[in-house]
Each structure stands twice: as structure tokens, then as C-alpha cells.
Structure 1
Amino acid sequence: MARHDHHDHGGADLKSAARDRLTESGEQWTGMREAVFDALAGFDRPASAYDIAEAVSKAQDRRVAANSVYRILDLFVGANLARRVESANAYVANNHPGCLHDCIFLICDTCGQAKHIDDDSISNGVRKAAEKSGFAPTRPVIEVRGTCEDCAEA
């Protein structure tokens, strides 16, 4: 992965960028996919499929099953609209869906917040170490657990 810069999207701009990215990948932006994306983007920390299903259920005043949400989240991860925080089995909206790259999560053990950072030198180092060991990496997952700045100051 080369050094890159990208624009972080937010609010309606993020939804528009996500919709554009999904349709560019040949998928449809349906009402249910929009509802799941809205719910996901509305969380301030990683959300499980059950959290998202509950939020969509409340917004639509009807029960939405978590297994339906899982299928949509898998599609979103594949299309780069969302990132999966592996250790928490939770998801976050990708603020720059048009930029494909490895990412690093800094996860606070106190409040659960996950901060996404990009550092190609670290992810490239992981890729090179894997290749040196005869392994062909497809998607490095780097998660660092600890205490965020806000919780450290409290």
C-alpha cells in the first residue's frame, strides 16, 4: 500500500459517499441497506449487529433480525463502507469509503471507543513480515487495546 491522503466524510456527505461506493461496486442502495448504514454511522463506538438491528427496529417500528443485518454488514465490509473490529465482533462506518487501505484500530478497554488510524509504514511492515515468512497476506487486522486519552485523564 502506498502513502495516501483521503477526505474523511461525515453526516449526509458520508451517506452519499457510501451510496456512491456501493453502487459503483455493482450493488443496489436499498432502503434496508440505507437504514443499516444510518444506524451504523449513528453509533459513536463500534456496534454489534444486534445493536444495529435494535436501532433499525426502533427507527422503522418493526422487528429487524440480526441475521439480516449481518448479511448487509458483510456486504458493507466487502465494499469498504464499514470496518469490522475483530476483537469486539463489532463494526464502524468507514469515514472514507472511496479509499481502500489497511487500518489500525486503537480500542479503549475502559469506554469501548475505537479510533481508526492509518499508518502505511506499520501495515506495510506487517505485510512484509508475513511475506518473509512465506505467507500471502490479504487483509492485515491490527488492533491495539489500551486506554484512550479521555479515559486516561479521568
Structure 2
Amino acid sequence: MATHSHSHHEPQGADLNVAAQATLEKSGEQWTTMRASVFSALAGFDKPASAYDIAEAVSKAEGRRVAANSVYRILDLFVGANLARRVESANAYVANAHPDCLHDCIFLVCDSCGQTTHIDNDVITRGVRNAAVSAGFVPVRPVIEVRGRCAACEAQR
């Protein structure tokens, strides 16, 4: 069965920070030093990170205590501006590798190691949105997460 997905150029490292800054500034927000620090910390994690994980990483990097509630506010801004995605079932966040592209995401979340893989499949997400509309519901932000085991964890069983 063919899947209809789309592909992106996915910037990494400094290029991802530049893309995030450009996207945030296009939305009318400022790219402050603190926001840059939070985004860099978030992008540095290889799996979803909580606001507490990010606050700890920023605190270490800056040599001063950064409160998790400050990080939560910035993460909420990032989610609204498409710079980050919230993995609902883990109450954690991942940096959006293509912040200039608006679409619904599907997350595959490993229950064993916590690794989260983001996939795009416009057919599935469009179907979810259409089903919601058919039920008389206006979808704003569909959240699709599949819990299970990643290939590496499954191979170790």
C-alpha cells in the first residue's frame, strides 16, 4: 500500500536554529537570548524532553538557575509558532525539524526506551481531520501518537 507523505529539507544544528529564528520572527515574535537557549537545549535532546529537562540543560549551559515555568511559557510559544511539537502522552517536547512547514504530525513513541519518531502521512492526517468534520467537530490540532516498541527494542526481546 502506497503512503502519501511529503518530504522536507530538514536543517540541523546551527541551520535549524536559523530556521527556527526566522519562523518565530515571521510570526511577529522576538528571538531573545533565552528563547535561543531553550530552543538549542530542546534541539540537543535525542528524544522528547520535559520542561524540567530543558530547564536543567539551560541552567547548566548558562551557569544559573532557570525555572521550569519560564521554560513552559517559551515552549507554549514555540508550539504555537510551529518550532516545537508536544508529545502529549509523554508530556514532553521535540524540536520541529521543519518549522516553516505547517502540517499534522504522527509520533511513534517507544514504550521501552522513549525514542520518538516523527512521520508525515498526509492521507492519514487528512482522514482524521475529515472524520472530525463529518462528526460536526472543527479540528484545530490533531494529535496522533502510536505507542509501541521501536525496532531496536523489539530486536532485543
TM-score band by shorter chain is over 0.9
Please report the TM-score for the alignment, with normalisation by the length of structure 1.
0.97
Matched with 2:107 is 105
Alpha-carbon offset, residue 8 of structure 1: 1.0
| Aligned partner of 1:63 among 43, 61, 65 | 65
Residue type matched to 2:81 in 1?
A
Distance in 1 of aligned mates of 2:12 and 2:62: 23
Identity across the alignment (%): 73
Q: Deviations over 1:16-63 (max 9, x none)?
A: 100110111111110000000010000000000000000000000100
1: distance between equivalents of 2:20 and 2:26?
10
Work out whether 1:141 is the aligned partner of 2:143.
yes
Tell me the distance in 1 between the aligned counterparts of 2:108 and 2:29. 31
TM-score of the two chains, using structure 2 as the length reference: 0.95
The 1-side partners of 2:25 and 2:138 are apart by 30
User: What CA distance in whole angstroms lies between the structure 2 residues aligned with 1:24 and 1:148?
Assistant: 36
Quote the offset at 1:5 in angstroms: 3.3
**Unmatched segments (≥5 aa) in structure 1:** none
1:15 aligns with 2:14: no
Query: Number of matched residues?
Result: 153
The offset of 1:114, in angstroms, is 0.5
Return 5+ residue gaps in structure 2 as ranges: none
TM-superposed CA distance for 1:4, in Å, is 4.1
Counterpart position of 1:78: 80
Q: Could you tell me which of 85, 88, 91 is aligned with 2:90?
A: 88
For 1:70-128, what per-residue CA distance to the aligned partner results, in whole angstroms no more than 9, with x for missing partners?
A: 00000000110000000111000000000000000000000001100000000011011
Per-residue deviation at 1:9? 1.3
CA–CA distance in 2 between the matches of 1:74 and 1:47? 14
Structure-2 residue corresponding to 1:130: 132
The amino acid of 1:52's aligned partner reads I
SS in 1 for 2:64: coil
Secondary structure of the residue that 1:64 maps to in structure 2? Answer: coil
Deviant stretches of 4+, over 3 Å: 2-5
Task: Provide the C-alpha distance between the structure 2 equivalents of 1:5 and 1:104, rounded to a whole number of angstroms.
Answer: 14
Partner of 1:38: 40
Partner of 1:48: 50
